[in-house]
Structure 1
């Protein structure tokens, strides 16, 4: 028995990371000698309702479906969507039937976290916002959390192994545990030891709320580290911190009064978009954790909409191959793919796989730029 309850990449690639009824569907269709050519679409909502979400997970979806005898069209990562298909598969059904479970998992989970991260980004567009939420999820998907956060425009993340997967360096300085290990009243010793131990490339960010009043600990940190101090972080548990905005304003005042205008104030601990909006004019940066990593997955479903060239769909779903469009005013529209779209509209589903070969490159920075531009165009998360 393996040491951890993890479904590995081999099971995902081979298609055993699936629901049992798909393997029985395969058995039944093969027994009947039936393998129709179908069009299947992944959708969250059939029609636009004004509630945009951010698409992520397309890179993993492409890796999953590559090498199969299918053509796939999809929106680009970092595209906001509001109804209609985000991904479309065309080919013999048995080429992809057993991969539906993993495909939806890739898209649903990453898109939910990316949507939440974009809401946080838009709530404090001029602030540094970091992803601190990997501790809330199974460690096997930490890189998915951090990639979703980066895709949405967050400035960095904390998980070391995720950074190795993504080719980005994780950030972070000290937890309360470090201060506690040195003992009550020994905060200066802990801050000084940190300063002496870590490399010069690591910013000197002192955690200043472990035992005492936040303002008092901040002033002690300034006295200890002097000009080497880059920032102070406040992470007081919600049950003890009171009015966080007032605390940060007081910290800022006392720092400025002593000539430390260059020391930034960073806040973390249970923060979401509403908190960021209320604090963005007094704090310089934020750590956002559970709001991103605990986000509900987008409720995607995969449905067959065409069989052997004929429209087909179950009750409650729209038959026929469809296209989604973005109009210059930021509107989202859905129509049949063989009909003319809205005037001056951009079709959003583009080639992803042709004859089993991935025909698209994945650039995380480009996806981030797309997400931020699309958020502005659609008004997502605006004040």
Structure 2
């Protein structure tokens, strides 16, 4: 079977077959009527600035999608924050890209949602280790999309091995409850010792300590078992019996310190979000965040023609005319018509992406991460 999981192929995406049916009808109709106007189209979520910033990403895949087509495109830099106005602009004959709209919006909408949620987690624990643990909540074919968005937003790593191969990053993670089950209740020390003997020295010794006994007891047993080799303990207490999670973490920290294990870190996971992370930062050293990222709402982008054969046009509720966007010195996001003067000392945010069908921008994930975190500080997200 050539496609055992029924996923849409890269070829279908690039050929414009991964589209909504009405774009095929549109092509048929325009070709029949011999119409193919020169247009400018923009991708937007909100028409005006809202003050509620999202992270823009997915533009690398959009560039790949548009490459080789007779058009020009400009876009915000990967990782830039926005709160209104266009994030992408395409200029060319409409039928050059008409059937690409569905895939193009998907390339932007979901990754931008993932990255925005990951940034929220990052800012909730700015001085802690924060890892993406959410790949199990999405289709495996988009695991790399999740993990790249998490890295772009400043998370320190992720758990998915295949995504790591694609992104050239080492996946993080130590042991699941299944490993503890295989050794059985009362044999936790054997499980941790076997892990220590079997796994590469490069892997941190983080013992899972909430499987059979209470978190304090298993944490102390792990410290006694592995001694100086123990880097930390992970508490993944399920929400159904978690109670006061902060109290549990504080109690574990106290008992470890009381017995001289001050260097043993505490890592928390299991349904965490920014609100649950913030009060734990004073006592825990790291966090695994999953469903908060993968369950994020996609950014509701749409693509609209705003100029046709040189004349402004729009549907009701949208803004006609080609636009530019700026970052103001105060950290604001300013939207204006492209043929009008921008704000004083405003930084234009659009940069060339495609010229005559060729990609004219490079994509560096580390640079995008720096850009995202720096821009978050400029616009005041998380403050």
For the residue of structure 1 that corresponds to 2:375, the secondary structure is: helix
Match of 1:292 in 2: 293
Distance 1:273 1:313 in 2: 39
Match of 1:142 in 2: 143
For the residue of structure 1 that corresponds to 2:13, the secondary structure is: helix
Alignment length (residue pairs) = 382
Q: Which runs of 5+ in 2 are unaligned?
A: none
Deviation at 1:240, TM superposition (A): 1.1
For the residue of structure 1 that corresponds to 2:154, the secondary structure is: coil
Q: Give TM-score, length-normalised by structure 1.
A: 0.99
Superposition pairs of residues 174-189 of structure 1, within 5 angstroms: 174-189=175-190
Superposition pairs of residues 95-134 of structure 1, within 5 angstroms: 95-134=96-135
Match of 2:214 in 1: 213
Distance 1:249 1:145 in 2: 31
Match of 2:248 in 1: 247
Match of 2:163 in 1: 162
Distance 2:213 2:239 in 1: 15
Distance 2:95 2:242 in 1: 57
Distance 1:269 1:5 in 2: 30
Match of 2:81 in 1: 80
Match of 1:61 in 2: 62
Distance 1:3 1:358 in 2: 33
Deviation at 1:294, TM superposition (A): 1.2
Match of 1:324 in 2: 325
Deviation at 1:4, TM superposition (A): 0.6
Distance 1:61 1:276 in 2: 34
For the residue of structure 2 that corresponds to 1:195, the secondary structure is: helix
For the residue of structure 2 that corresponds to 1:328, the secondary structure is: coil
Match of 2:92 in 1: 91
Distance 1:380 1:233 in 2: 29
Distance 1:235 1:122 in 2: 21
Distance 1:106 1:185 in 2: 48
Deviation at 1:334, TM superposition (A): 0.3
1:105-159 alpha-carbon deviations (Å, 9 max, x no partner): 0000000000000011011100000000000000000000000000000000000
Distance 2:241 2:218 in 1: 15
Deviation at 1:366, TM superposition (A): 0.5
Distance 1:276 1:371 in 2: 21
Distance 2:299 2:190 in 1: 47
Distance 1:337 1:123 in 2: 37
Q: Does 1:312 align with 2:318?
A: no
Distance 1:240 1:211 in 2: 13
Distance 2:7 2:212 in 1: 39
For the residue of structure 2 that corresponds to 1:329, the secondary structure is: coil
Match of 2:351 in 1: 350
Q: Which runs of 5+ in 1 are unaligned?
A: none
Distance 1:8 1:223 in 2: 52
For the residue of structure 2 that corresponds to 1:39, the secondary structure is: strand
For the residue of structure 2 that corresponds to 1:21, the secondary structure is: helix
Deviation at 1:370, TM superposition (A): 0.5
For the residue of structure 1 that corresponds to 2:234, the secondary structure is: strand
Match of 1:223 in 2: 224
Distance 1:365 1:93 in 2: 35
Deviation >6 Å, runs of 4+: none
Deviation at 1:5, TM superposition (A): 2.0
Distance 1:70 1:262 in 2: 57
